Every structure is written in C-alpha cells, then in structure tokens.
Amino acid sequence: MSIYDTLNPEQKKAVLHDKGPLLILAGAGSGKTRVLTYRIAYLIEHRNVNPWNILAITFTNKAANEMRERVDKIVGAGAENIWVSTFHSTCVRILRRFIDRLGYDRNFTIYDTDDQKTLMRDVCKYLDIDTKRIPEKSILNAISKAKDELISPEEFEKRAGHDYTQRKYAAAYMEYQRRLKASNALDFDDLIFKTVELFMNDKEALTYYQNRFRYIMVDEYQDTNTAQFKLIHLLASGINEYGEREYNICVVGDDDQSIYKFRGANIYNILNFEQAFPNAKVIKLEQNYRSTKNILNAANEVIANNKGRKQKTLWTDNEEGEPVSFTLFESDFEEADRITSEIKRVVESKQASYNDFAILYRTNAQSRIFEEKLVLKNIPYKIIGALNFYARKEIKDILAYLKTIVNGKDDISVKRIINVPRRGIGLATIDKVNDYAVLNDISFYEALVRARQIPGLERTASKIEPFVSLIEGLRSSINSDSYDLTGIIDDILNATGYLKELEEEGTQEAEERIDNIYELKNKLVSYVETAEIPTLNGFLEEVSLVSDIDSMDESKDNIVLMTLHSAKGLEFPYVYICGMEEGTFPGYMAINAENPEEEIEEERRLCYVGITRAQKRLSLSAAKFRMFRGEMHYNKPSRFIHEIPRHLLKITSPDKKTVYKFADDDFSKESGQTSAYHLSQTHYKPFVTPEPKNFGGSNLGTIDYGIGDTVKHVKFGTGIVTNIVAGGKDYEVTVDFPRFGVKKLMASFANLTKVD
C-alpha cells in the first residue's frame, strides 16, 4: 500500500494527474495542501521530475514554510531543491538576478506602505496637487490598482483622456515611478509588475525560468491578480524538448474563499481558467475533513446566497456536532467579557487548551477591547496583525539606516534619518539640499556628500559632514570580509547615540523601544545563522516581505485573535466570530458601496471563510451597541446570522442560562444602516415547551408544530414558525425561511413537517 491509497478518489486523481493544466477546486478543509504536497512527491518519485524543476507558490510565508516542511517530510532528499515561496519573494529572487536589464541596480530597496506615502507626499508637493481634494491615499490606491492590472504610467495617461482627476492621477503615477527608479526602489506591486515586464522584454531571462520551472503549483489561486496571472502564464508557457507547450500548471483554489478583491484579486482567473488554459482538467474536492456537519451546513447555507459561483457542495463524514451558537450581547464590552470568561472556564475545566481557541473579527480595531479583558484575566493571547512590528518608529529608523547603507539612492530612507537622532538639521536645510539634488540630477545622499558646495549651507554643512562620514564608515565596515553582520545594529546605535538618547529618556515607552530594537537584532542574528549567504540586503528583504501571520506559533499555548482575512488557511477546534452586526460585518463600507450586491457577496465569502475555520465548535455573537470611533452605534444582528437556518443555531442569552428556541422578529433583513436612532429592537422570547396547538375551534385539524418550531416546506426548505393564527377552517402559519424570507402559509396546503 502506497501513501497515495490514503487519498480519496478525487484527491488521488489530482495527485496522479500527469501533464497539462489542472484546476483543483478545493473546498474549505478538503485537504488541498495535502494534495499539493503529495502531488509534488508523486511527480518526483513516479514521473522522474527533477525537484529543481518544481515551483510552488503561496501567498504567505507561513503557508510556504508549512508546505516546505510537509514536502521535506514525504520527499526526503532533494526536496531542498524545490522552489517553495510566495509570489513576492519569488519575484524578488528573480529581480535580484536580472533587474539590471530594466535599468535598476540589483541591490534595489523595497518600499513599504509608509515609504510609499512619504514618497507620494513629495510627489504631490512637487506637482502642486491639492491633497485636500485628491488625497495621497487615493492616488496610491489608483496606482496600485493600475499595477495589479499591468497598466503602465504611459498607458494610464492614455486612458485618462481629458478627465481632470484621472490626468492628475496619471501625472502623479508618472512622477512617482520616476522617483522610485531614481531611488532604486520598488514598491510591493512593482515586485510583480517589474518581473512581468522583465519577462516580456527579455527573452533570455524568460526562457531561463521557463526551463527551470517545468512544473508550477499555485496555492490560493482565487486570490491572484491580473499581474500574478500573467506571471504564471508566462512561466508556464515554456517549450519542451519536443517543441511543445505543456502548460504544466496546477492551481488550487476555491472561488468561495476569494476575499481579496480590494487587493486586486481577479476572480476571473479562477472562473475562466479553462478558457485561459485550453484542455485544462478540473477536479473538485468536496469532502471536508475539518468541521462537524452542523458547522459545514451553516457555511453551505450562508454561501448559497451568493450568485455566480462554481457549483459545488461540500459534505463531510464527520459527526453532527453541536449546533452553532449565537448570542446577542448588550454591548461590545459584554461580548468581550463573556467570551473571554467562557474560554477561560473551558480551559480550566481541562476540556481544551488556550491554543485551541481563535477569536475572529472583521476589523483590527475590534481586538482592543478583547485585549483589555485578556490582560485583566491573565489569559495568554496573541494578536495577529494589530500593529506590525516593522511599522514601529524605532524599527523603521534602524531599518532606514540599514537601507541607506545598502542603497544610497534611497532618498526616503536618507531623509528619514538625516535628523534622527537630532543633529540640528532642519526643514530649511533639507529643502536646500533637495533643491540642489534635483537641479544637478543626483540623489539626496550625493548632495549631502557635496554639502560644502551647496549655496547657503556654509554653516549647516558642518552638521551634515559627520552624518556622511558616519554612513561611509558603516558602509566600508560591512564591505570588509571580516565584518560580522550581526554587529551592524550595535554599531549604528553606538555611532549615532540613538540608544543613549532612549536610555536617557527613561520612560516606559523608551524601554519598550529599546526592547524592540534588541528584538530586531535577534531577528538579524537568526537570519545570519540560517541564510545560506547572509547579506544585509537579504535581511532587509526578508523583513519587508514578512506578514504578521508568519509569526504565529501554533505550539504556544495562547488564544489567537485576528481578522477574518488573516484566518484564511487556518483551522481551530473552537472559533468565535464576534461583531456579527450590520455595519460591522458586513461592514458599512460594503453596505453603502455603490455596488452593494457585489461587495456584500465578498463579505459573505469572508463569513464563509470564518465559519469554515471551526472544527468542533463555532460561536457567533453580536452586540446591540458598540463603540465605534468614540461614538455609540446601535446595529442589528448581521444578515449572515439570518442566513443560517434556525435548526442549526442554538440561540442563547449572554449568561448562557437561557436557551432560546425562537428569536422574535426584528431580525429583519432590510439594510442595516448604522444609526443611533435605529435602536436594536431585538428581543428574545424564552422557549416554552410547545403546547398542543389546539386553538379552540373543534372543526380545526391539529398540527404537530408550534411557534418556535422548525418546519420543512417542499419549496422553501426549512424555516422557523413565527406565528400561528387560527382562522375559520385552517391555520394561517407564518414561517421565516432563511432563504426566502417570511411567508404566510395555510397549514392544510403548505404541508409543513416538523423538523427537530
């Protein structure tokens, strides 16, 4: 018996697929990573594929590391030659080798969102763009979108036509790009864009990688954007030794889990895969191995409300499990308090450990209140993505020094540190240097080197010179062979007096900053230890491309808190999804969008992702009111709650003492505008044992269901009885069907059957 016999028939088909394009539509929890790793092993073992010729692309480093680990385990020797990495890392690696062909230096810097903003501010100032009318952020957004769609500045300008705003965007894009190049820097989107550009313009580079990557696997394919699609399409279009194109590309995705449209993900990449790659084989993985029947059914019911999906129905052999629970709390405060207490209770009763729990929410801001409660109750926790370690001021300062050392053309970094710590170099001086640099077409740093020649800087030049020699000194030390790279941060701290300044401050905040800097040093040390050829640039690259989720450590016993987005690809025995209110989730941005239907569908997919993270128990909750931007907001429970059939839900009071069988009205589905005047009217009636429903009239027949019961209708499916009125010869039964809304039916015609 081989390892492949442990797969189900569909999984096996996917693993044993030979050549040509393959689309695996893998539902949540259907074992897609397993299929991918087994497929890699199969190719190597049984198809004589050289590990060297395999490329596996994921979206996060965490996913890449996991795949690497699993592949290592089943492939064994040779596995290290498989290229497993994220889109962005893959592109950096390619560009470090070939970007000189596009006129950049190979030691280019990667700009993060902060750097982008700073650069764009300069651009707007230079172009006289009124940022009150056109904010930098919206320009950057437009540029990012353009890059995702492979639209160059020139093309953008063409398309702008005579539209005023569009022309401004175009001009900003042009100048922004010019400055990036002058700074020898690339932003995140450029990493993909420039790699595609390289491949389009340089046949040699393209052929090199086409020959190298004969087999390509892409995970989370539904989240690829147009540029990423183009990239893998180019790579997969190589010609084999018989002069044929094989398109050995295997993508794994789930259109129902596409949640990154805002980041440019193009859903048509997956929906039209078969058109883009003729003769593509499609395999659906529909068996879920993760969740209980109740959880999976809830997920299926919710996602069924979306249109335009690839048809598939997830099923499971797992046990029924508990019903999904829903609790409506009074406030966000109570929500956080009760949930954290409940988790603590479960853990203390030894039924589970903290790392079995995840608390998921729509926005990062929601983590705050949980954090307060967790600290108060001494519960170990880890918040993912709240504030990025690398976005902290002190870290960015040190990194700016490092970037300056590596790439002197990086004006943004040089300007950041020119007066940090204070050297008495102010705005006036910086402006003069800047003007001189622009005039002479040199970088800001080069202008600093020539400070003495800059008119009007006779006095401040003496303040600039020590800075220049400081950088020069550091630069020459890292270039000496005997230099220990791990000492660079200490050298910076000592030479600049950065550390001393913090120490003298003596505040708690300063202490934390110092700790953070040492933390950064730790990361540098472990980088130097693990990297094959450690370089400063390599370290900076690693630092730029990490996401917070990469730092998640499953072996640590703490509750994890994160956004629903971050939770994709993960699973937990116990999952709490909180803030399930109209306006929070789905968010008000989606509700008030110009195309709400589309946006709500994306939110619904997000909800689907959230629900399907849970293995054993899923707890949903909402709060009647919640603090948002310092104000109280009263919101109705989310429409997504309504979309879960009542027979799958157990609705409990905040103290869990009362289990409601039936939720009264006002779970209405009209758009939940966030309004202080719109008090939540939701009340619950405690469940009363259904009395035999004999409503007096003896000529009436009897029915075996009552208010609060779940009943089944041939056409409308299951619903909950909200009212029964005896009228004449028949009962008028009001039923709330999650999918069809509230219907009034005559009992004798409707033929309703009770479900329990």
Partner DNA sequence: GTGTTAAAGGTTTTT
Partner DNA sequence: CCTTTAACAC
By the criterion CB under 7 A, which residues form the site for DNA?
59-60, 86-88, 113, 135, 137, 188, 259, 262-263, 362-365, 368, 385, 419, 422-429, 460, 545, 547-549, 562-563, 565-566, 587, 589-590, 593, 599, 627, 629-630
Candidates 314, 229, 312; CA nearest to 276 is: 229
> Distance between CA 419 and CA 427 in Å, rounded?
10
Instruction: Determine whether the annotation assigns residue 428 to a binding site.
Output: no
* 497 burial via Cβ count (<10 Å: 0-12, 13-18, 19+): middle
Q: Read out DSSP for 338-391?
A: HHHHHHHHHHHTTS--GGGEEEEESSGGGHHHHHHHHHHTT--EEESSSS-GGG
Nearer of residues 42 and 188 to DNA, judged by Cβ: 188
Catalytic member of 220, 254, 541, 548: 220
Instruction: Determine whether the annotation assigns residue 336 to a binding site.
Output: no
Shortest approach of DNA to residue 50 CB, angstroms? 27
Angle at 83 between CA 81 and CA 89, to 5 degrees: 140
Catalytic member of 86, 116, 210, 257: 257
Nearer of residues 466 and 701 to DNA, judged by Cβ: 466
Catalytic member of 168, 373, 382, 613: 613
Within 10 A of 463 (CB to CB), how many other CB atoms are there?
17
Nearer of residues 259 and 517 to DNA, judged by Cβ: 259
Nearer of residues 456 and 727 to DNA, judged by Cβ: 456
Annotated active-site residue 114? The verdict is: no
Within 10 A of 430 (CB to CB), how many other CB atoms are there?
16
In DSSP terms, which residues pair with 684 in a beta bridge?
663
| C-alpha separations of 351 from 372, 570, 574, 583, 617 in Å | 25, 21, 11, 35, 13
Shortest approach of DNA to residue 78 CB, angstroms? 26
Q: Tokens in use for 513?
A: 């900053």
Annotated active-site residue 732? The verdict is: no
Name the helix (H) or strand (E) containing 721: strand 717-727
> Distance between CA 205 and CA 81 in Å, rounded?
20
Instruction: Determine whether the annotation assigns residue 32 to a binding site.
Output: yes
In DSSP terms, which residues pair with 274 in a beta bridge?
none
Annotated active-site residue 219? The verdict is: yes
Within 10 A of 283 (CB to CB), how many other CB atoms are there?
20
Nearer of residues 95 and 590 to DNA, judged by Cβ: 590
Q: Tokens in use for 434?
A: 């800047």
Catalytic member of 10, 187, 219, 548: 219
Contacts of 439 (CB under 8 A, 6+ apart): none
Tell me 699's DSSP state: T
Contacts of 722 (CB under 8 A, 6+ apart): 662, 664, 665, 707, 734, 735, 736, 742
Annotated active-site residue 257? The verdict is: yes
Instruction: Determine whether the annotation assigns residue 31 to a binding site.
Output: yes
Instruction: Note whether 253 and 220 are within 8 A (CB).
Output: yes
Annotated active-site residue 643? The verdict is: no
Shortest approach of DNA to residue 591 CB, angstroms? 10
Shortest approach of DNA to residue 227 CB, angstroms? 10
Contacts of 608 (CB under 8 A, 6+ apart): 28, 256, 257, 299, 302, 303
Measure CA 75 to chain center: 30
Annotated active-site residue 33? The verdict is: yes
> Distance between CA 22 and CA 249 in Å, rounded?
6
Catalytic member of 32, 312, 396, 617: 32
Instruction: Determine whether the annotation assigns residue 386 to a binding site.
Output: no
Candidates 346, 63, 40; CA nearest to 217 is: 40
Instruction: Determine whether the annotation assigns residue 30 to a binding site.
Output: yes
Contacts of 425 (CB under 8 A, 6+ apart): 418, 419, 460, 463, 464, 467
Residues in the annotated binding site for ATP: 26-33
Catalytic positions, written as ranges: 32-33, 219-220, 257, 613
